[in-house]
Amino acid sequence: MQAHCHSNYYQMYSQKSSLLHARAHTNQHEKKTEIVSVSALPRHTTASEFNLRYRKNSTCTTIARTSMDMYVRILAFFEFVVLTTFKRLKRYFTLTPQHTIPDDVAMKDERRKSQSETAMHSSQRRDSDLNVFSNTENDDETNDDTNCLRTLTSNTMNDAQNNKSRLRSELSSLAYRYHVHHPFNALLQSGRASRDMLQLWAANRYYYQDTIPRKDALIVARCPHSSIRASWISHVVTHDIDGALGEWLHLTRALGIDDANVASHILPATKFACDAYYTFCRDATWQDGMCASMTHLFAGDIHSRRIANWPKLYPWLPSGAFDYFETRVSSLPNEIESSLDLLADYYCTSDARMRRARQVVMFKQDVLWSMLDALWHHWFARECRMPLSPPQSRQPSSSFTPPPILRVLGSGAGGGVPQWNRVDRYNDQARHGCVPVRTQSSFALSSDTERRDWILINCSPDFGFQWNALVKIYPHATLRAVVLTDNQLDHVGGLISLRESGECVNIYCYPDVARSIESVLALVEPYTHVKVHTFIDVTQMCGFQLTPVVVGERKARYAPHPTSVIGIEIVPLMDKTESTTCENEVAHNETKVLDPSEYDNHSKTIFVAPCVPTLDNIGLFDACRRSSVVLFDGTFATPDEMPSVSGHVSIDETCAAFDALRLSYPTFVHMNNTNRRLLDSDLSCSGLTNLAPSPQLQFAYDGMEFTFESHET
């Protein structure tokens, strides 16, 4: 129906042009005939004969002119009715007039219009040369017709501009839903993102970039109009491998991802979101497919900010990494205008279509937001990550038993990382998950195959959070005993949480430490029974032999006197009959006590010393030499880091002493959030600095596990 109306309209327009040309030619011919008739009269013709002959010719000419004028007026009225009707009907058609006119028809119409106007101007010049009086009434009608056409053209242009402005305004009002406001994007824009985080984002965004030219090709294939296809096919070329897609690979390569490995970083949720976008463009109308691209109304600002800020926030990225953003900033204005030209008249014809345009753009915004949701969940809910490779298969054996383990529940010093009242860069990075979060120092031991019985070494104020994290991994975990190395608040502050135990709590510590924490235990005893055991000699419990090693003294701020500080040598027992039962009370048994000289031949030994006040202790270094793993005090990097806090040796002092004794460096625990060595290590490992981490210094982290590789003597 639409094509038929267009055809009738243009046929009528051509007929009118032909009639105007014919009328001008007839007027000219009639005037020439009058001149010829006068000149051809015989010389003897009288005035009465001349008047009679002239009136006869003039009467015929007037009748012809009147008939022609009536015909033209009827056609003009009919044209006005058709144009008005067509203008009302076109809003129900799929395409706008300028898009539905085939190219060849439009060109022919322009040629006919040009020829008609040329003929009219030439006839007017000839009439002027012959000095013939023209019909003023007919000239006025011709001018009225021309003015009418000009008014219609002007109104059409104004309507198109108004429609573009309206569509732009309606869609721009959805800017608040754009993924620039997502917390993950805020991390990228703040400069807190690590290299791994940027790699994850860039690889998943690559899948989206690869979807764009494929969905644009679908739109081109489904569009039935050659002029629109010719306009939109540029989007396919612009966004494919020779354009935006290739420039995005410059970024992934700059981040250290080989082209062949990009796919391995793509999350399933990203694939679902982008494939849903592709399916939408496949099944929806081609207008809706184009409208879904209108989210680039909001993209210019985010790309501009990345160009301005990222070279400063991520100086380790080469300049070629930003090619994509620079190209998009320059090309977006033209893409936006061309898209509005194609879509404005269609979506502005009714409120229902405008609502549809908003729904389409909101769907596209949901796709982009869902992609960042997937990245956020993958990064911060790490326990939900899908395994990238199958677990290592073990040969089924009835004799195989899992080895005993030591798990680092907390690796930070007092306050942890981030510390609630510190706003420096390192603590801020930790708050946003860009560097490891470290709770306050604590450890857990288990030797049974089902990981039911656990010994807690130090009970930090973060005990509840740490124990919940342990139960996520080992659902049957049960606390059997608590061993304290000192009375520092970050090692005993969690004892109050044990009031909810419901069972007797067995605590092992040095006698002077026990006396200093009586006030703390007094708060717990009204809720649950507490039994304190003296820990000054070798003790066996829950499949382990624990040996205290005094490393110095330190005074807690709340205690009146200095108290002993110990390290603990941990050796797993070989036979289950050697272990006590670990029920309601941990008791000493009469099994063989291992001598330190037997440690090397008996099993792997771990020495835990989270607080070391001084290095002038031979027993300390003897324990370090006997142990295969040493977890050592790493509170401060240098001696003058925090002069107000004493009782901790620095990492620099420890490394110097170990070098002098030719011992391997320990794994550091109990790190303070001011420790510069820790800061440099975490930032470099996360890609937030150009400094390479020291290969000789090793820092423990929350959730780190060490196994005891036991073997028969």
523 and 463 in a common domain: yes
Q: How far apart are CA 608 and CA 627, in angstroms?
A: 10
Three-state secondary-structure class, residue 495 = helix
CB 450 within 8 A of CB 375: no
375 and 409 part of one domain = no
* pLDDT at position 32: 42
Is residue 641 in a domain? yes
Record the tokens describing residue 110, joined without a space: 């322009």
Write out the DSSP string of 588-613.
---SPPPPGGGHHHH---EEEES--S
473 and 622 in a single domain? The answer is yes
Token pair, residue 302, equals 């985010």
CA dist., res. 457 & res. 624, Å (int): 18
The pLDDT-based confidence of 195 (bands split at 50, 70, 90) is: confident
pLDDT bucket at 316, cuts 50 / 70 / 90: confident
Mean pLDDT of 263-282: 94
Q: How confident is the model at residue 632 (pLDDT cuts 50, 70, 90)?
A: very high
Provide the pLDDT confidence category of residue 628 given band limits of 50, 70 and 90: very high
Residue 92 lies in a domain: yes
pLDDT grade, residue 597 (50/70/90)? low
Residues 418 and 359 in one domain: no
Q: Calculate mean pLDDT across residues 398-421.
A: 88
Q: Are strands 629-633 and 667-669 parallel, antiparallel or unpaired?
A: parallel
- Rg of the chain in Å (alpha carbons): 44
Whether residue 521 sits in one domain with residue 460: yes
For residues 591 and 623, the model is more confident at 623
Of residues 112, 167, 120, the one with CA closest to residue 21: 120
- Provide the edge-to-edge strand list for the sheet that holds 667-669: 539-541, 544-554, 563-572, 606-609, 629-633, 667-669, 698-699
Residues 209, 123 within the same domain: no
Residue spans of alpha helices (H) in 482-616: 489-492, 511-516, 518-524, 599-602
Using CA atoms, how far apart are residues 542 and 456, in angstroms rounded to an integer? 11
682 — pLDDT class (breaks 50, 70, 90):
low
**Is residue 708 one of the residues assigned to a domain?**
no
Residue 147 lies in a domain: no
More confident of the two residues 39 and 582 = 582
Last residue of a domain, one of 379, 396, 424: 379
Average pLDDT value for the chain: 79
Neighbours of 676 (CB within 10 A): 13
Q: Are residues 434 and 333 in the same domain?
A: no
Task: Return the higher-pLDDT residue of 471 and 86.
Answer: 471
Q: Are residues 454 and 371 in the same domain?
A: no
**At 281, which CATH number?**
1.20.910.10
In a domain, 711, yes or no: no
Most confident of 131-145, 488-502, 672-686, 687-701: 488-502
Q: Are residues 538 and 649 in the same domain?
A: yes
Q: Which CATH number belongs to the domain containing residue 412 in this structure?
A: 3.60.15.10
Tens-place pLDDT, residues 700-711: 999 999 998 643
The pLDDT of residue 163 is 92
Mean pLDDT of 311-337: 91
Residue 510 within any structural domain of the chain: yes
Q: Which residue has the tokens 């002069």?
A: 643
Tell me: do 110 and 218 sit in the same domain: no
319 pLDDT band, cuts 50/70/90, is confident
Q: How many domains does the chain have?
A: 3
User: What pLDDT does residue 12 have?
Assistant: 47
Model confidence pLDDT, tens digit, residues 427-450: 888 887 778 899 999 999 999 888
* CB neighbourhood size of 77 (10 A): 10
**Tens-place pLDDT, residues 201-243:** 999 999 999 999 999 999 999 999 999 999 999 999 999 999 9
Domain assignment of residue 142, yes or no: no
The confidence band for 625, taking pLDDT boundaries of 50, 70 and 90, is very high
Regarding whether 625 and 577 lie in a shared domain, the answer is yes
Kindly report, residue by residue over 12-57, the tens digit of the pLDDT. Answer: 444 444 444 444 444 444 444 443 444 444 444 444 554 555 455 5
Is residue 562 a part of any domain in this protein?
Answer: yes
Section 570-580 average pLDDT: 65
Tokens 């229902």 map to which residue? Answer: 352
Paired tokens of 519? 């006030």
**Residues 436 and 368 placed together within one structural domain of the fold:** no
User: Reduced to 3 states, what is the DSSP secondary structure of residue 266?
Assistant: coil
Banded model confidence at residue 5, pLDDT cuts 50, 70, 90: very low
Query: What pLDDT score does 135 carry?
Result: 42
Q: Which helix (H) or strand (E) holds 707?
A: strand 705-707
553 pLDDT higher than 80: yes
Q: What is the pLDDT of residues 490-513, one digit of tens each?
A: 999 999 999 988 889 999 999 999
Domain encompassing residue 81: 2-134
